[in-house]
Amino acid sequence: MVSSVPKKGKAVTLLSSMHDDQAVNHNSRKRKLEVIQYYNRTKIGVDLMDQMVHTFTCKRQTRRWPMALWHNLINVATLNAYTASKAQRPGTWEASRSL
């Protein structure tokens, strides 16, 4: 676990199994922690998943957190099934869009 305060009043806490110290990359201009730079380089997958799930979502407004969690699980499972199916049969999804 690494904790950093890059600006006053802005605490950042990260949990990583790859990084075990507060090593700073002195080659960069802003001198950020290596764990933060690694996260910024690899977060594209999470952003892309959020964008794709947001396009076709089953989420409903609810006050109950188990229902919100359930809707999120359904969204991610649907995206995973779509990605696996598209990987197995690459040409079939593009042909069905043109109908």
Residue 99 confidence (pLDDT): 46
Residue 33 lies in a domain: yes
Q: Which residue range(s) make up the domain with 72?
A: 45-90
Q: What is the pTM of this model?
A: 0.55
Strand, coil or helix: 22 = coil
Residue 96 lies in a domain: no
Which parts of the chain sit beneath pLDDT 50?
A: 99
Residue 99 lies in a domain: no
6 lies in the same domain as 36: yes
Residue 97 lies in a domain: no
Of 61, 97, 99, 54, which Cα lies nearest the Cα of 78? 54
What average pLDDT does the chain have? 79
CA atoms in the 13 A half-sphere facing the CB of 88: 6
